[in-house]
Amino acid sequence: MSGTAVGSSLAAIGRIAGGVGPTGGPQPMHIPDGFLSVPVSVVFWIVAVVVIGYALRRVSRELDERRVPLLAVLAAVIFAGQMLNFSVTGGTSGHLLGATLAAVLLGPWAAMVVMTAVVSIQALVFQDGGILVLGANLFNMAIVGVLVGYGVYQLVSRALGNRRWAVPVSGFVAAWLSIVVAALACALELALSGTSPANIAVPAMGGIHALIGIGEGLITAGALVFVLAARPDLVAPTAKATAGQKALWIGGAALAVVLAVLSPLASAHPDGLEWVAEQQGFLEAARDPLYSIIPDYVFPGISNEALATIVAGVVGTLIVAAAAYLVAQGVRRRATQQ
Amino acid sequence: MADVLDPYRPRASLIHRADPRVKVVVAVMSILITAALPLGAWPSYVLLLAAALALSVAAQLGVGFTLKRGLIAVPFALAALPLVFSTPGDVLASLRIGPLALDASLAGVERFASVLVKSYISVQFAILLTATTRFTDMLAAMRALRIPRLLVVIFSLMWRYLFLFAHEAKTLRIARDSRSADVGPKSGGSVAWRARVTGGMVGNLFVRGYERSERVYQAMLARGYDGDIRTFALRPLASSEYAALAGAVVILALLGLLGILFG
């Protein structure tokens, strides 16, 4: 990240791509409503419900009841931690998503629940990300982000062994990769919906997040170093992995590899994804037979599209005016009564 | 728990008083209908936007409030911008950047504008919901909609501590900023150093959260918490509320059908 040219274009991208949410930080990975097609949204809702439902079951079965306040308070911490940023250059700032940090400190299932709470509240209350597309956002940030972060952290920290810098280095690599892979998942969803061609979305999202991920990696490493110094008991030793956990971190690492391979493939063959997107546009397709039943119809009684829009505009204005009138009447009546 | 972060805007309107379950279902359905509308269904877009504006007027929020806050999703439009050039159709304008030739098509512009407008309308409904519904009421609606109880309890406890930790994060930031004079590119060492400091702040927040959660747990135990989560039974919906819900659903379904059939 050197050179002012890179810096200023980064800043521009950051400003454009990363809408600054009410929480203060740029949130370039929260897809708003309207950007994903209904079929894609529904499919990712189903995946998210199944996986997060399983995570909830695991959390309530394995962990004692103490975990309810723990998970809730730490969800609030991750939410607040996303507001902390550091300046990189030229108005760009690095900030945190927190999926890897949560996964390393809490384990994958609890981290999934924490990230689910964070991403859901951002969508439901702060409009950081849409509601219909929440399933996809949960998939990217609470499932892919957590699993990849957890898997890669376990793999790298095992490879590094007991060295002193093993924790920050594996934290950095895991956090960086989790951001990039989550961004690739986001790009594939956009391409599947026909919102963004894969050959542009994949390299653009991947490239921007390869840079954003550096900030994520540095903050995650710094946070892990702090926790290791202050409460070493919280950075769980990696030795006590059971068979199930082993499968999980291998699965997380595999997910990273699959998405990393799939994305350039999709990017090289945008027609394939385009075709899927076309197939998925069944609503559009369903219109055609109806068109032949009711030919030359745009709006009931009016056979001109521009005219129909104007009529809709007039009707809309009347509706708003009527609402305003009724509210004004109500307020006046209440005022006279008092 | 009033805070600048809380998007709830207290008013004495009918919309504010409406049952949260009705509001949540209607808002989600509006967003679903908006997403299901085909590209370029302009009359339907206008009608849906009018419905959203009428509701914000009825909720005494004013038209400007939701219109302005709705811009939050606009920056994401960059993701859909390539549609302008990648959609085949009548060429509107050509852009040449070195060896790269970009042809903007009319169909592409319409697709891009449709995505943008649909997203904008969806955000209007989401803002309406959060501006007129207290979060505690939203939680009751989530329970009624069969969202897992563990998750709803986590949401509610998280909400309780959200503002506290947002405030602690702000305090940490002020402390850092007052020590490093100016958080500009020239202050406070290298980028990696600044990132590490921020990481330390996040770690600090995490440890504080962990230790607070232990105290919260002790306090809950002292008040009789036994691991079971108990909640009040929800009041059944009145028949008038069912009628309102049915009415809203029928209107939305008609709007959606109109858009899908006639564009």
Residue B231 lies in a domain: no
DSSP for A122-138?
HHHHH-SS-STTHHHHI
pLDDT of B252 over the 60 cut: yes
CB pairs under 8 A between A and B: 355
Say what the pLDDT of residue B87 is. 77
> In this structure, are A62 and A184 located in the same domain?
yes
Average pLDDT, chain A: 78
Q: Looking at the 3D structure of chain B, how many domains does it have?
A: 2
Q: Are strands A86-87 and A93-94 parallel, antiparallel or unpaired?
A: antiparallel
Residues of A in contact with B177 (CB under 8 A): none
Closest chain A residue to the Cα of B159, Cα to Cα: A76
Q: Does the distance separating the beta carbons of B73 and A225 come in below 8 Å? A: no
- Domain range for A73 is 4-283
Say what the pLDDT of residue B131 is. 93
Q: How far is A123 from chain B (nearest CA, A)?
A: 9
Residue A290 lies in a domain: no
Residue B52 lies in a domain: yes
Q: How far is B171 from chain A (nearest CA, A)?
A: 10
Q: What is the mean pLDDT of residues B177-201?
A: 74
End-to-end CA distance of chain A: 65
Return the higher-pLDDT residue of B115 and A237.
B115
Residues of A in contact with B73 (CB under 8 A): 19, 32-34, 127, 130
Say what the pLDDT of residue A177 is. 93
> In this structure, are A190 and A256 located in the same domain?
yes
> In this structure, are B74 and B127 located in the same domain?
yes
pLDDT of A143 over the 90 cut: yes
> In this structure, are A277 and A303 located in the same domain?
no
Give the CA radius of gyration of chain A: 24
Residue A220 lies in a domain: yes
> In this structure, are A120 and A185 located in the same domain?
yes
The pLDDT tens digits for A162-174 are 787 889 999 999 9
Best to test chain A binding among B71, B158, B163, B230 (most A CBs inside 10 Å)? B158
Report yes or no: A313 and B46 within 8 Å, Cβ to Cβ.
Answer: yes
Q: Does the distance separating the beta carbons of A37 and B198 come in below 8 Å? A: no
Residue B2 lies in a domain: no
> In this structure, are B213 and B249 located in the same domain?
no
Residues of A in contact with B248 (CB under 8 A): none
Distance of alpha carbon A133 from alpha carbon A254, whole angstroms: 25
Say what the pLDDT of residue B22 is. 94
Say what the pLDDT of residue A241 is. 52
Chain B contact for A37, CB < 8 A?
Answer: yes
Say what the pLDDT of residue A18 is. 36
Q: What is the mean pLDDT of residues B27-56?
A: 91
> In this structure, are B248 and B182 located in the same domain?
no
> In this structure, are A315 and A177 located in the same domain?
no
Q: What is the mean pLDDT of residues A205-217?
A: 88
The pLDDT tens digits for A241-255 are 555 667 777 777 777
Closest CA to B209 of A169, A226, A219: A226
Please, how many CA atoms are within 13 Å of residue B18, restricted to the half-sphere of its CB? 27
What sign results for the dihedral spanned by CA atoms A202, A205, A210, A211? positive
What sign results for the dihedral spanned by CA atoms A330, B133, B117, B44? negative
pLDDT of B235 over the 70 cut: yes
pLDDT of A285 over the 90 cut: no
Residue B5 lies in a domain: no
> In this structure, are A51 and A87 located in the same domain?
yes
Q: What are the helix (H) ranges across A38-165?
A: 38-62, 67-81, 99-106, 108-126, 134-137, 145-160
Nearest beta carbon to residue A68 from set B32, B154, B260: B154
Lowest mean pLDDT among A81-85, A220-224, A225-229, B243-247: A81-85
Say what the pLDDT of residue B71 is. 84
Return the higher-pLDDT residue of B228 and B118.
B118
Closest chain A residue to the Cα of B260, Cα to Cα: A287
Residue B1 lies in a domain: no
Q: How far is B235 from chain A (nearest CA, A)?
A: 23
Q: What is the mean pLDDT of residues B128-141?
A: 92
Say what the pLDDT of residue A23 is. 40
- Tokens for A326? 């009724």
Residue B227 lies in a domain: no
Distance of alpha carbon A234 from alpha carbon A162, whole angstroms: 17
pLDDT of B89 over the 90 cut: no
Q: What CATH number corresponds to the domain at position A111?
A: 1.10.1760.20
The pLDDT tens digits for A328-338 are 887 777 777 76
Lowest mean pLDDT among A6-10, A37-41, A264-268, A294-298: A6-10
Q: Does the distance separating the beta carbons of A83 and B169 come in below 8 Å? A: yes
Chain B contact for A46, CB < 8 A?
Answer: no
Q: Does the distance separating the beta carbons of B197 and A77 come in below 8 Å? A: no
pLDDT of A283 over the 70 cut: no
Report yes or no: B115 and B82 within 8 Å, Cβ to Cβ.
Answer: no
> In this structure, are A249 and A178 located in the same domain?
yes
> In this structure, are A302 and A249 located in the same domain?
no
Q: What is the mean pLDDT of residues B88-115?
A: 78
What is each CA distance from B48 to B9, B16, B80, B133, in whole angstroms? 22, 20, 22, 21
Residue B51 lies in a domain: yes
Say what the pLDDT of residue A276 is. 52
Q: Within a 10 A sphere around the Cβ of A163, how many other Cβ atoms?
A: 9
Chain B contact for A90, CB < 8 A?
Answer: yes
Helices and strands: H and E segment counts in chain B: 10, 2
ipTM for the whole complex: 0.90
Closest chain A residue to the Cα of B171, Cα to Cα: A84
Q: What are the helix (H) ranges across B133-228?
A: 135-144, 149-179, 191-222
Say what the pLDDT of residue A114 is. 95
Q: What is the mean pLDDT of residues A179-207?
A: 88
Q: Looking at the 3D structure of chain A, how many domains does it have?
A: 2
Chain B contact for A24, CB < 8 A?
Answer: no
Closest chain A residue to the Cα of B133, Cα to Cα: A125
> In this structure, are B190 and B88 located in the same domain?
no
* Residues facing residue A299 across a β-bridge: A302
Distance of alpha carbon B8 from alpha carbon A22, whole angstroms: 13
> In this structure, are B115 and B243 located in the same domain?
yes
> In this structure, are A182 and A323 located in the same domain?
no
Distance of alpha carbon B23 from alpha carbon B131, whole angstroms: 11
> In this structure, are A302 and A158 located in the same domain?
no
Query: Cβ contacts of residue B75 below 8 Å, gap of 6+?
Result: A15, A16, A17, A18, A19
Q: Does the distance separating the beta carbons of A225 and B119 come in below 8 Å? A: no
Closest CA to B40 of A291, A95, A284: A284
- Domain range for B105 is 14-143+236-262
Query: Cβ contacts of residue A182 below 8 Å, gap of 6+?
Result: A29, A97, A99, A140, A141, A144, A145, A148, A209
pLDDT of B28 over the 70 cut: yes
The pLDDT tens digits for A7-30 are 333 333 333 333 333 344 445 688
